Amino acid sequence: RKEVEQDPGPFNVPEGATVAFNCTYSNSASQSFFWYRQDCRKEPKLLMSVYSSGNEDGRFTAQLNRASQYISLLIRDSKLSDSATYLCVVNILIQGAQKLVFGQGTRLTINP
Amino acid sequence: DAGVIQSPRHEVTEMGQEVTLRCKPISGHDYLFWYRQTMMRGLELLIYFNNNVPIDDSGMPEDRFSAKMPNASFSTLKIQPSEPRDSAVYFCASSSRQGGEAFFGQGTRLTVV
């Protein structure tokens, strides 16, 4: 089983729609969680951290369920500029050393 | 801050040649990561350093790959000899704390022909 698994996608949704991505992780020792965004031929950039209580940043909401080892990202009122690949990232602490593990990514296209 | 700086941005080389990729992390960041990205395998962690010391190199594919961090502001990833299957985008990233977010460089697009 992969350490981090995401919805395979691709997602094609109309502008203004709400879209949700899911991600599961296998290591219960995982300490911190992130969503990154990667545009075509660019480097990944942090979109938002994911906190246990859930957190919101404008149109974006991230949720964490430690019991189910599950992370989600919700995008409301999607914009054309939201088109990108979204990467679920889990920071695993093993024997005192951290390891950032990325999911394969989910490609999102917002259509006008 | 200039961010993480990688060079070269693009590299085309012939099979069998040595390739050296370079990275300058963000000043003050104690963690440095080397990743490789391909369509088939996504982003794979190759190796990471903490305070210039290699901590986990389990992702390095084979002995042809080596990485060094001689000081806090410079790291190299070397492939010798290079093979066509090494073609990928190689990213360097740095982080200021354990468990914190990583900031990525713009990557080096390597093509081995």
Average pLDDT along chain B: 94
Share of chain B above pLDDT 70, in %: 99
3-state secondary structure of A82: helix
pLDDT number for residue B5: 98
Closest chain B C-alpha to A103 CA, distance in angstroms = 8
Is the pLDDT score of B99 beyond 80? no
Inspect the interface and report whether the beta carbons of B43 and A87 lie closer than 8 Å.
yes
Beta bridge mates, B89: B37, B109
- Higher pLDDT: B94 or A9? It is B94
Q: Strand order of the sheet with strand B19-24?
A: B5-7, B19-24, B74-79, B65-71
Is the pLDDT score of A102 beyond 70? yes
Interface membership of B70 toward A (CB under 8 Å):
no
Contacts 24+ apart (CB under 8 A), A72-76: A72/A20, A72/A21, A72/A22, A72/A23, A73/A20, A73/A21, A73/A23, A73/A35, A73/A47, A74/A18, A74/A19, A74/A20, A75/A18, A75/A19, A75/A20, A75/A108, A76/A18
Tens-place pLDDT, residues B52-85:
999 989 899 889 999 999 999 999 999 999 999 9
The mean per-residue pLDDT over the stretch B78-102 comes to 93
Of A43, A99, A101, the CB nearest to B107: A43
Q: List B residues 77-96 in contact with A (Cβ-Cβ < 8 A).
A: 91, 93, 95
Of A31, A99, A103, the CB nearest to B56: A99
Inspect the interface and report whether the beta carbons of A99 and B106 lie closer than 8 Å.
no
**A contact test, residue of B44, B53, B101 with most A CBs within 10 A:** B101
pLDDT number for residue A53: 84
pLDDT number for residue B78: 98
Tens-place pLDDT, residues A19-66:
999 999 998 878 889 999 999 999 999 999 998 888 999 999 999 999
Share of chain B above pLDDT 90, in %: 84
Report chain B residues whose CB lies below 8 A from the CB of A93.
98-99
Tens-place pLDDT, residues B4-16:
999 999 999 999 9
